[in-house]
Amino acid sequence: MNRIGIVSVTLLVLACVSELRAGELYKATLLTQTGEFTSGIEGPAADNEGNVYAVNFGKQGTIGLVDGKGKGKSVHTLPEGSVGNGIRFDKRGNMYIADYPKHNVLRVDAKSGNLSVFAHEPEMNQPNDLAIDANGNLYASDPNWGASTGQLWRISNKGVVTKLAGNMGTTNGIEVSPDGKKLYVNESVQRNVWQFDLSKQGGISNKQLLRKFDNFGFDGMRCDVKGNLYITRHGKGTVVIIDPKGEIIKEIDVLGKHPTNLAFGGKDGKTVFVTEAEKTRLVTFRVEYPGATWFRNYGK
């Protein structure tokens, strides 16, 4: 082979390696720079255009949008005294935001962009993370950090609030299984992951321990279409993936010690966006399967 041929082959190999790395699964990369969000960065939720939304962009009480190239901007300012945490979208594109200081769930209308109070419940400690089912009903975790206790709430698609459970540990991450038959909730301080049977009417029963961890706390979590749970491990700086039986599949380093939540998105639902509070930025990694809620909203 002549010199030109060797150079051509070398360039081809390098291009292939580069492409492989670009598509490498479960390898975290930076999406935004440190400092664009506050240390309250939380609540990611993604559309099908490669954009991700997260709370507290630039300052507390805002919602930021970050595109697939990492360029961010503030798109909503919440009412005075309100601060967002978890975010979810329904099938129509309406955005729901857990407003923990005001004990609200806020709603941004998909068509008009108007922001309103969708539900208010004074008995909530502080609505934290949100899950949503196929009919647009929301489920909210509600921790009391000082007492290391927590509650669970259901907010119907009409805004009716019902307490599902009290006397739990510090309830945090919450998710509905892809088939809608299970509700998963984790407890940050106690390091438990619980599963409940979820009825068609939105009631829960048959509480079972899916898995207990020996160290590090939990924060937000999501399911993929296979029913695997992705859980942020606050203090450890990872996202752990467990299967529907509670067995650990994989753990991913997310380039900071305090991941707060995650969401599936991108063009195919196979990009995971992680909010990370230590360095106040978003990181991403690619996975094999799309997120369950993303696929229900946007999949074909």
Residue 80 lies in a domain: yes
Q: What is the secondary structure of 50-107 as a DSSP string?
A: S-EEEEEESSTTEEEEE-TTS-EEEEEEPPTT--EEEEEE-TT--EEEEETTTTEEEE
Sign, CA torsion 87/188/252/244:
negative
The pLDDT value recorded for residue 48 is 87
| Residue from 214, 220, 215, 195 nearest 205 by CA | 195
The pLDDT value recorded for residue 16 is 40
Q: Which residues of the chain have pLDDT under 70?
A: 1-23, 300
Assign 148 to helix, strand or coil: coil
Residue 22 lies in a domain: no
Rounded distance between C-alpha atoms, residue 287 and residue 290, angstroms: 7
Decide if 98 contacts 132 (C-beta within 8 A): no
Residue 149 lies in a domain: yes
Which residues span the domain enclosing 87?
28-298
Q: What is the CATH number of the domain that holds 123?
A: 2.120.10.30
Residue 125 lies in a domain: yes
Question: Which residues does residue 54 pair with via DSSP β-bridges, in sequence order?
Answer: 64
Rounded distance between C-alpha atoms, residue 83 and residue 91, angstroms: 24
Residue 66 lies in a domain: yes
Residue 5 lies in a domain: no
Residue 2 lies in a domain: no
Residue 231 lies in a domain: yes
The pLDDT value recorded for residue 70 is 96
Structural domains counted in the chain: 1
Rounded distance between C-alpha atoms, residue 67 and residue 78, angstroms: 21
